[in-house]
Amino acid sequence: MEQLRDELDRLLTALPNAEEFRYRLETLVSVYPFNEFEYIIAALLAADKLTHDEYIELRDAYIARNMFLYIFEIGAPRGFGEAWAQGHLKELVPELQKPSKKMDSTYSGEYDLLLDGRIKIEVKASRAVDFDSDEPLYVKALPSDSAKRFDMNFQQVKPACCDVFVWVGVWRDVIRHWVLASKEVASNRYYSPGQHRGNVGEGQLHLKDDNIHEFTAYEAQSNQLAAAIREAYERQNK
């Protein structure tokens, strides 16, 4: 968003009435789908300061930088952490199954997905947003190359309830995945047990801008997730 604003601001300086136009922007009333960006682009096109081909190039570049911005607009935690994240993983690894008592007679909802009929998987997802901003999620969403602070808090982590954890981190332009054996989470120095008073065996882990590099060994590409889950399961049972 900041890059788009800078590019449009540069183009605005070429308008013959640039100062007057900027003043109108300050009092502009926006109602979806009409907003300040639509207003600026329409003015630049009308003034021949932006060609249609340049507009298409500007648009394509913005979409490439914000391919996953729509995920930041998912409001309900269950809608994001369960419906979206689990659906996302099932698209990448079709072999994943939603567990049931028929597959696992002891199953009572304590883990999310099952692989190979035996690997119990818990899915945790979070979004990278500007830690120092109070704006809505879709406004403070960060690109992967941002130097701003972020804190992705993976909550309600229960290492005793699964074999493998899959963490999903979402930025504006990329989605990253980490696959860890349950015992690797439980023993990690950033794991804090006792997230809520009285909740035995449940904790949380903060993946932040200043410690994310320490999890590089657990990161897996989207086409390697199935293999990474099986490898983590083997580590769990060594």
Which CATH code fits 76-236? 3.40.1350
Residue type, 207: L
pLDDT of residue 8: 81
Q: Do residues 148 and 142 touch, judged by C-beta distance below 8 A? A: yes
Q: Rounding to the nearest 10 degrees, give the CA dihedral for residues 101, 195, 178, 211.
A: 180
* Burial (0-12, 13-18, 19+ Cβ within 10 Å), 41: middle
Return the domain boundaries, the chain: 2-65, 76-236
With CA atoms as reference, report the closest residue to 167 among 104, 134, 227, 212: 212
Cα–Cα distances (Å) from 238 to 225, 231, 232, in that order, read 20, 11, 10
Q: What is the pTM of this model?
A: 0.82
pLDDT of residue 37: 87
Omega of the bond prior to 16 within 30 degrees of 0, cis? no
Q: How many Å apart are CA 128 and CA 190, to the nearest integer?
A: 18
pLDDT of residue 27: 84
For every one of its 238 residues, what pLDDT tens digit does the chain have, with 9 covering 90 and above?
A: 677 778 888 888 888 888 888 888 888 887 777 788 888 899 899 899 999 999 999 899 888 889 999 999 998 777 898 889 999 999 999 999 999 999 988 899 999 999 999 999 999 999 999 999 999 898 899 999 999 999 999 999 999 999 999 999 999 999 999 999 999 999 999 999 865 555 567 899 999 999 999 999 999 999 999 999 999 999 999 8
Q: Do residues 236 and 115 touch, judged by C-beta distance below 8 A? A: no
Q: How many Å apart are CA 1 and CA 37, to the nearest integer?
A: 10
Q: How many Å apart are CA 109 and CA 100, to the nearest integer?
A: 8
